[in-house]
Chain A
């Protein structure tokens, strides 16, 4: 029974399962978990059975991989197989699936709506992790090393949630991993020898007392790690930031509470966000996508500002819904906001708020729809409308002929270029031409712009590259394709404006983080997004910021899928992460949805974006080469310095001895050449042929060392050099040492390390 190691196999499989569990918080559907569980079970069962049959670890690993691939092919791509064998089509379809999953991830922030491709990829990934953990922990009996694999898998989900996984998710993987270590520890005790019992005193099984101690230690360590790790003060999470939330109050006074800057500088890096709570809210329908605070409608000189002259505020008692077509169905959701710390007059409201959210307070609303409070309101309830817009209605929407007064005015200093009259001579125009062909309906055009900005070509970064300095920041952004929400939103407004669609920039907050039943919105959740105006519906929100730092793109803003012919391009089948569909309050993530090298990843892009790593890797490689190269140089110099034939022979001999030392054969110091030769022959366990080479080398050295100079010169020239024998000797010795020693000899020769000492010693010997 123990041969198959059932306990360890079970523990490894369970560990993989619990380590994959937190991923469920990032996805809407848990459909993939069933398949993943099956994969884990198949891996564990096959591993156990094969080990039971005394199959060697390498073959167990191969068999498990084959089983996994067979399961994948049989379940996913049976039609592409040729007599059960994968074909080129299989590979192409697999690539499509991976690409589809990556694109899907890139299109959403967590929780990610279901996708078949994503399910397949996740389940396969979990299966692969299970194979790796099984191989390392069970077959190779290295449960500690398997911890590294589990850690990687765990961080995969943890790093994709802004506040990390809930501490509770760590308990099970850590506990199972420690159980694996403990199981190995107990086996080590059992295999040490028979256990004896106490003759006098309490009878205790040695394994039990060890296990008892281990249990206490494990529980204490996990508990303390979680408590300390939770209360320990850490620096703010690096990829979260909210420069927008830390701006000064409009009145110029000291900001009370969290307030939004009235302008946004596109060229500035986002600085560390504030952890200060802006407000909390409670809603029966899950996290709200965004909360708007105010609108910026003028871009000039790299800065977004609000054109105040057009926004005359009127005292108001109720917010009216926009005039909507009858085909649009609306659903009202009440969002109770409390602990509101947004400094008045600013206030955060969900999109399409209707009615009177502040019955007991005086407030105004301006042309932009921006609500201003005259005093602090700690709690309010906003009724927000969710729109469900039929696809055919969207398709028939036309961009507004009448430009709304609140639409943004974009002034970009661009140097006209290009002599071709058929080509637009401004940067925006050229970019736009690459995105749309002019035949689209306005909604399609807007969708394409959003899709362009969300494509893997663009990456989210809090810091801007230096390339942006100089020209207009928005144009720089379109060139470097690196930025944060202000750049993405601003670029979309500018592009839409260039395409003739009225657009504007809205500043507010993302939906925040779930804490218990409530959601908390902090300063770092500050966000910016574009709105585009359409006749018949009004301002529609878009979400060009990719990944975790963007909100969830509204369903209407996504390009309808055409790649999947089984589902038609109907609105109902489109991925719809409507607000009510969000099951958990875990917040958007960064890396999971940020397009990475998986989808559009090209090495050059990676290199340009991560050149410090590339430089680091390169220097590491150079460092590794340095020692062998130095050794070569030292040897060459040693030979070049030799003036006479005898000295040359000595140098060659010294090199031979040094290289033998690298291989672990250290002749005694001060031995005569013959003694050294005998030592090499016996210690290196050399074959007869190599021994004769040693003999020749020793003879040459003796002649050089002891013969009269003129004789030596004459004879050494005739009989050749030690060098000719060195290779045969060294290769014979190398053939008998472990591979690790050979590698160390090649990569870490002593000649390359102690060249200074050696060269000085050599001079001493020559001067003697």
Chain B
């Protein structure tokens, strides 16, 4: 019964019309004794039955693989996708009308006709896509339809697995130099000491008034006879932490025109800019599901940024939690994200270690005071912050944020 229904469903409208009229004609021919009616009825029925028989697909076991050149593409860059279809089965495959199922952002779905493949036969199809926006775009699976010549039967099937095409954001060249780190407790903004031996190297110096007694280095004191204290150097490493906040609720706009896209490009640009200047950049991107991706090289950063998607509000807390561990060693902290509430802003500001600079780009939330509140808190806490909207050129944003004032406004 079920197989009968599946047979019937494999028929097109034309096929079922043929069956219905075939049965009617055959019956009429039989009852009226009209051989011609019977013959035509039989013709319609046999034709449809034959179409179903020839069109049976037996699971359509085809291997489909895709390669993209280049594997990771820039926005707007043409990517050649090669689809290889192999027939591993022991029988020939039917002629397939195939349609590659693409993310709609990649444009029209390419359609092509695959020839009948003998056992072991292979066929290669190439097409070019070009994405207007960054992202991990879906390629495949291959939607296929098997039809017969007379259009009586039609079978639809998805063949093979889909893959992803990564389109990374294009960094924008930024010009102004990043701010130098400020030494601890000094106002000059120049580096005080440099650790030459690595992160955890310690120097020893004479005790000065006010030093923490716990820091006295007793072996050295014994050796020299003077009280000596450990001096933990804060090595001025050219280090930067880039945080991308992708909370959907904090950003404005939807989809391609969302301020998240601006933030992603800014994050990419800043990462590229800083890395070009010898910074070791750690970019933190929410990966969804409570995970945060930390990437340390530019290609990795770009891939992580390409995959960035709007996230729920809790993602900010996760991001900050991941950042806290990394920021302890100081360095430039750059927050790029949506509008912040005061509380969140305080957490962001807390990431900036004394002596290092903090920058923040907050999405302007029109009609909402929240963004401004966060901005104010950041400024008071010594973070150079500004708001942005999608139309602001990234280079301008970078240049102006460096000139931003910190401290409480009068």
A residues near B (Cβ < 8 Å) are 144, 151, 154-155, 158-159, 163-165, 167, 170, 174, 178, 181-182, 184-186, 188-190, 192-207, 209-211, 213-214, 216-218, 220-222, 224-226, 228-230, 232, 234-238, 240
Contacts and interface: CB of A to CB of B under 8 A. Distances in A.
B95 A222 contact: no
Contact of B115 (A181, A197, A213): A197
Given A158-B36, A193-B111, A229-B29, 19 more contacts: A164-B35, A181-B150, A182-B149, A185-B148, A185-B149, A186-B149, A192-B113, A193-B97, A194-B112, A196-B114, A201-B87, A211-B149, A217-B47, A217-B148, A221-B43, A222-B43, A229-B39, A230-B39, A240-B33
A196 B111 CA distance: 11
Nearest to A215: B149
B286 to A, nearest CB: 34
29 contacts: A144-B14, A144-B17, A158-B34, A158-B37, A164-B35, A165-B36, A184-B151, A185-B150, A189-B95, A192-B97, A192-B112, A197-B115, A197-B123, A201-B117, A201-B118, A201-B120, A206-B113, A206-B115, A209-B95, A209-B115, A213-B54, A220-B50, A228-B46, A232-B30, A232-B38, A234-B33, A235-B33, A236-B33, A238-B33
B115 A154 contact: no
Given A206-B114, A225-B42, A226-B39, A159 B123 contact: no
Contacts of B40: 151, 154, 170, 174, 225
B31 interface: yes
A155 B36 contact: yes
Contact of A174 (B18, B31, B43): B43
A711 to B, nearest CB: 39
Contact of B151 (A164, A185, A220): A185
B31 A235 contact: yes
Nearest to B121: A201
B147 interface: yes
Contacts of B118: 198, 201-202
Interface string B149-184: 111000000000000000000000000000000000
Interface in B94-126: 95, 97-99, 110-118, 120-125
B51 to A, nearest CB: 6
- 7 pairs of A and B residues whose beta carbons are closest in the complex: A214-B149, A201-B121, A229-B39, A193-B111, A237-B33, A225-B43, A158-B36
A193 B83 CA distance: 15
A235 B34 CA distance: 9
A213 B18 CA distance: 19
Contacts of B117: 198, 201
A184 B18 CA distance: 16
B32 interface: yes
Interface of B: 14, 17-18, 29-40, 42-43, 46-47, 50-51, 54, 87, 95, 97-99, 110-118, 120-125, 147-151
B39 A214 contact: no
Nearest to B125: A196
B29 A213 contact: no
B34 A217 contact: no
B123 to A, nearest CB: 5
A167 B31 CA distance: 19
B113 A217 contact: no
Contacts of A210: 95, 148-149
Given A185-B150, A200-B120, A214-B149, A195 B112 contact: yes
A217 B54 contact: yes
Contacts of A174: 40, 43
Contacts of A217: 47, 50-51, 54, 148-150
A195 B113 contact: yes
Contact of A198 (B43, B98, B123, B148): B123
Residue from A154, A188, A198 whose CB has the most chain B CB atoms within 10 Å? A198
A403 B203 CA distance: 158
Interface of A is mostly: helix
Contacts of B95: 189, 206, 209-210
Contacts, number: 173
A203 B148 CA distance: 20
Contact of B37 (A155, A209, A222, A226): A155
B116 A206 contact: yes
B122 A199 contact: yes
B140 to A, nearest CB: 16
Contacts of A216: 54
A218 B39 CA distance: 14
Nearest to B152: A181
Contacts of B124: 196, 199
Nearest to A22: B36
Contacts of B116: 204, 206, 209
B121 A200 contact: yes
A221 B46 contact: yes
A143 to B, nearest CB: 9
Contact of B149 (A159, A181, A197, A225): A181
A197 B115 CA distance: 6
A468 B324 CA distance: 109
B234 to A, nearest CB: 61
Contacts of B115: 195-198, 203-206, 209
Nearest to B30: A234
A195 B18 CA distance: 29
Given A189-B97, A198-B123, A206-B116, A225 B14 contact: no
Contact of B36 (A164, A189, A235): A164
A182 B150 contact: yes
Contacts of A201: 87, 117-118, 120-122
B261 to A, nearest CB: 29
B47 A194 contact: no
Residue from A178, A188, A228 whose CB has the most chain B CB atoms within 10 Å? A228
Given A192-B111, A209-B115, A170 B32 contact: no
A304 to B, nearest CB: 28
A588 to B, nearest CB: 16
A209 B32 CA distance: 40
Contacts of A190: 113
B190 to A, nearest CB: 63
Residue from B30, B47, B95, B115 whose CB has the most chain A CB atoms within 10 Å? B115
B42 A229 contact: yes
B255 to A, nearest CB: 21
Residue from A163, A167, A216, A221 whose CB has the most chain B CB atoms within 10 Å? A221
A163 B47 CA distance: 25
A567 B32 CA distance: 42
Given A184-B151, A188-B151, A234-B29, A224 B46 contact: yes
Nearest to B119: A201
A167 B42 CA distance: 13
A163 B42 contact: no
A557 B14 CA distance: 53
Contact of B35 (A151, A154, A163, A214): A163
Contacts of B148: 185, 210, 213-214, 217
B121 A198 contact: yes
Contacts of A155: 36-37
B49 to A, nearest CB: 8
Contacts of B32: 235, 237-238
B149 A229 contact: no
A431 to B, nearest CB: 34
Nearest to B39: A229
Residue from A154, A155, A193, A199 whose CB has the most chain B CB atoms within 10 Å? A193
A185 B147 contact: yes
A185 B55 CA distance: 14
Nearest to B126: A196
Contacts of B17: 144
Contacts of A159: 34, 36
A594 B294 CA distance: 93
A69 to B, nearest CB: 31
A59 to B, nearest CB: 27
A199 B123 contact: yes
Nearest to B37: A155
